[in-house]
Amino acid sequence: MSTDTFIAPPCHQQIRILYEDAHLILIDKPSGLLSLSGKNPLNKDSVHHRLVQAFPTATMVHRLDFGTSGVMLLALKKDVNGHLTKQFQERTIVKKYVAILFGHLDDDQGTINAPLTKAQFPYQKVCVTTGKEAVSHYRVLERLQDCVTGVKTTRVLFTPHTGRTHQLRVHSLEIGHPIIGCDLYGLDIKGLGDTHSLASRLALHANSLEFNHPVTEQRMLVESPQLLTKSTLQLAQ
CATH number of the domain within which 62 lies? 3.30.2350.10
Per-residue model confidence (pLDDT) at position 90: 96
| Beta carbons of 134 and 197 less than 8 angstroms apart | no
Region of residue 234 (phi > 0: left; psi between -120 and 50: alpha; otherwise: beta): left
Three-state SS for 67?
A: coil
Per-residue model confidence (pLDDT) at position 181: 96
Rounded CA separation 168/41 (Å) = 29
Which helix (H) or strand (E) element contains residue 78? helix 78-89
Rounded CA separation 101/177 (Å) = 5
Catalytic residue among 65, 106, 107, 188: 65
- Give pLDDT tens digits for 95-146: 999 999 999 999 999 999 999 999 999 999 999 999 999 999 999 999 999 8
User: 3-state DSSP helix/strand/coil percent for the chain, to nearest 5?
Assistant: 15, 35, 50
Per-residue model confidence (pLDDT) at position 235: 45
| Beta carbons of 133 and 162 less than 8 angstroms apart | yes
In a domain, residue 128? The reply is yes
Per-residue model confidence (pLDDT) at position 4: 63
Total domains, the chain: 1
| Beta carbons of 34 and 66 less than 8 angstroms apart | yes
| Beta carbons of 99 and 203 less than 8 angstroms apart | yes
In a domain, residue 103? The reply is yes
In a domain, residue 8? The reply is no
107 is catalytic: no
Per-residue model confidence (pLDDT) at position 237: 33
| Beta carbons of 143 and 108 less than 8 angstroms apart | no
In a domain, residue 190? The reply is yes
Per-residue model confidence (pLDDT) at position 3: 57
In a domain, residue 9? The reply is no
Q: How many Å from the N-terminal Cα to the C-terminal Cα in the chain?
A: 40
In a domain, residue 235? The reply is no
Residue type, 206: A
Which residues of the chain have a pLDDT value below 50?
1, 234-237
Q: How far, in Å, are 143, 159, 220, 223, 224 from residue 210 at the CA level?
A: 27, 11, 5, 9, 12
In a domain, residue 142? The reply is yes
Residue type, 226: Q
In a domain, residue 187? The reply is yes
State the number of CA atoms in the 13 A half-sphere of 213 facing the CB. 16
Its domain, for residue 60, covers: 16-224
